[in-house]
Structure 1
Amino acid sequence: MTTAIRGEILTYLEAIGADDGSDAMIAAMEAVGTTFSIKEYTSTGVHEKYLIFAKGGVDFLLHDGIVDTVFFHLRDSEKYAAYAHPDALVEGVRFGTSRDEVIDKLGIPRQNKKHYLLYPAGDAFVNIRFRDERVLRVNAQRQDYAAQAESEQAESVSAAEPKPITGEISQLIDAAGSAYGDAVMLDLVDLLGPRLDSHDIDAEDGGGKLLVFDSGGVDLQYRDDALLAALIHVREGDRRPYPRRDALVDGLAFPATREDVHAALGAPNDSRSDLDLYSENGRHVMFNYDDDSLSTISIVHVPHDT
């Protein structure tokens, strides 16, 4: 049985699902008690807005004007001060608490994954993150993303099976999730060309490293020393496209439209206004469109426990 969540996090849970600028959101921001900066992005049709309270150890993430997640840092780091009252955030939970101690205090979680425990709290959830079986940080979030992913996967099984994605892109798909510096990374350098620029990604943007192969038309993003995502440019524009586009995806000629992609690969697992999603074995391949013209292809590795 799950125990009711108690502590200062209740103020922030009230803001989850609230509109940008709502009373609940403002009350939660005032509870942090420090100044903040703003960063905004638009990705796959979703507008993301981050309110970064670096001195307060808190980040707010809004999706399309709705408070989606509040992140709490429980110890000082290079980029963040610790949350002002880390031991009072969730009653019975503090930095370094063991997984077993959390379960003893809060009861059986809704999700018990390798890197986190998820507890329902009203219309929202408390996500307690772990490293080496010890509490690392805490999130207040809007959805049970694991359950949502499982539901979407079950729905996709009943849909028409898409065709395997083959061609030179398969080397990038197979590399997703591989370790930074692994032998497969040398194979990617051979595929994409030796000229690359390496950039460190700020911690507030998730951390990690970005490798930009300008002549190869591909960007590789590493996080936690693993290949998280690859972005392939396939259309002439601001960036040089992949140089061997006719060999990139078997059966797909470039320039390509959404109709061309469907003809080559079959029905996608999911489709939205600006993208088609094909998934297999924890890897998502997204075909991204601009007015039905294929502009980029994204490959994302999704570990089974996230």
Structure 2
Amino acid sequence: MVTVTGEMAVMLDVLGLPQGDGRILEAIALVGPGMETEEFDWGSEKSTYFIFKPAGTDLLFEDGVLASAIVRMQPDAQDPGYGVYPRPAALIDGLPPTATRAEVEDFFGAPERTGAGFVRYEANQRYLHVEFDSDGRIGKLSALLEPV
């Protein structure tokens, strides 16, 4: 397991907390103001998104529990309405925000899971999903409660 320090550690630390828990404000303070919400009812599961488009960040609550935080490091071609995280160099201490896959693996070591465009690590007793853009650089970082 790796230890993440920096602003992404705040997001990892608040995962698993119920919606409305004041400690989640620590993560919201990093990306707010300018929040929109969207809710989806999938029958057996309810999803609520706190969307911070100017900061390129979404917080996802599944059945009232914070399940993930998705942070865009590069412009999102699929949704050009999103900005990028305002302080990308502050997200993970010591990891450049434009790191390549090789640089990420050199920094963290062997990933827990890999795919064509991503690596995933167990981090801070949660999961850190690193998605790469078409240039092979970090495109998104996601703090995950469960390994999805």
TM superposition score category, shorter chain reference:
0.7 to 0.9
Structure 1: gaps spanning 5 or more residues: 1-161
Q: Trace 1:69-84 onto structure 2 (pairs within 5 A).
A: none
Note the alpha carbon deviations across 1:227-280, whole angstroms, 9 max, x for none.
011111011342211100011111111222111211222221121211101014
**2:140 match:** 296
Q: Which residue of 1 aligns with 2:24?
A: 185
Question: Alignment partner of 2:46: what SS?
Answer: coil
3-state SS of 2:25 partner: helix
Aligned CA RMSD, in angstroms, stands at: 2.0
1:263 aligns with 2:102: no
Does structure 2 conserve the Cα–Cα contact (< 8 Å) formed by 1:165 and 1:265?
no
Select 2:95's aligned residue among 252, 256, 263: 252
With over 3 angstroms needed to count, the CA separation of the structure-2 counterparts of 1:220 and 1:267, relative to structure 1, is: same
The correspondence of residues 205-216 of structure 1 with structure 2, limited to 5 A, is: 206-216=45-55
Tell me the alpha carbon deviations over residues 32-77 of structure 1, each in whole angstroms, 9 at most, x when there is no partner. Answer: xxxxxxxxxxxxxxxxxxxxxxxxxxxxxxxxxxxxxxxxxxxxxx
Shift in CA distance, 207/272, structure 1 to aligned 2, threshold 3 Å: same
Q: Kindly state the Cα deviation for residue 202 of structure 1 after the two structures are TM-superposed.
A: 2.8
Change (3 A) 1:235 1:201: same
The alignment partner of 2:9 has SS state of helix
What runs of 5+ residues in structure 2 fail to find an aligned partner?
Answer: none
TM-score by length of 1: 0.43
Aligned partner of 1:167 in structure 2 is: 6
Quick one: which amino acid aligns to residue 300 of structure 1? L
Shift of 1:215: 2.0
Higher relative contact order, structure no. (Cα contacts within 8 Å, ≥ 6 residues apart): 2
Q: Which amino acid aligns with 1:258?
A: R
Which residue of the partner structure matches residue 119 of structure 2? Answer: 276
CA apart distance, 1:281: 6.2
Query: What aligned pairs does 1:59-74 form with structure 2 within 5 A after superposition?
Result: none
Q: Give identity over the alignment, percent.
A: 28
Q: Which structure 1 residue ranges, 4+ long, deviate > 3 Å from structure 2? A: none
Query: What are the superposed Cα offsets for residues 159-207 of structure 1, whole Å, 9 maximum, x if unpaired?
Result: xxx5422111000000111110001122222111121001111325942
In our comparison, the structure showing a higher alpha carbon Rg is 1
Write the letter of the residue equivalent to 1:222. F
Q: How many residues align?
A: 142
- Contact 1:278-1:285 at 8 Å conserved across structures: yes
Contact preservation (8 Å) 1:173, 1:283: yes
Change (3 A) 1:198 1:257: same
**Partners in 2 of 1:290 and 1:236 — Cα distance?**
10
Q: CA deviation at 1:212?
A: 0.3
User: What CA distance in whole angstroms lies between the structure 2 residues aligned with 1:271 and 1:246?
Assistant: 24
Correspondences of 1:119-268 after superposition (within 5 Å): 163-204=2-43, 206-237=45-76, 238=80, 239-268=82-111
SS of 1:199's partner is: strand
